[in-house]
Amino acid sequence: MRSKLHTVLASAALMAAAVLATNSAMAETTLKVPFSFTVAGKVCPAGHYTVKENAIGSYVTLTNEDSSRVFTWILLPGAPDYKSGNVVLKFDVAGQTHLLRSVQIGSMTTSVLDKNVGNSEYRSAELAAGQGQ
């Protein structure tokens, strides 16, 4: 009996470790943003940004390459048409001004980060993982 319990516990621990390793590998993506942008009133320079989802998918962190800018948001259900694991940064753009609107990972997304309601000069743009790298 003790041998069976030990085997069951060891199997459960091995499966949990495999799930965590898989989540960690899929939970971090680096994108090259070729323009400066604003988020939460702070200007972020062009460069490489890491988008990291926590292990259970409840929040996302955006960090630039030298870690001088770090932002964290809660993830909510979003558009179901995005492939699982795809990372998309969505921007509102007017001229050379880019405002980060949201971060989407698969079908999970942040709420609207910078609102431009009623400002018709802004258009939307997306930067997805794999583009511009």
Residue owning tokens 């964290």: 72
Which range, of 34-38, 51-55, 60-64, 124-128, averages the lowest pLDDT?
124-128
Distance CA 54, CA 57 (A): 5
pLDDT at 112 over 90: no
Nearest to 60 by CA among 23, 106, 109: 109
The residue-averaged pLDDT of 23-48 equals 84
Torsion sign (Cα): 119, 123, 124, 125: negative
pLDDT at 9 over 50: no
Q: If you average pLDDT over every residue of the chain, what do you get?
A: 78
Reported as a single tens digit per residue, the pLDDT across 73-103 is: 999 998 776 666 689 999 999 888 999 999 9
Distance CA 16, CA 80 (A): 27
Given this model, what pLDDT does residue 120 score?
65
Q: Where are the domains of the chain?
A: 28-128
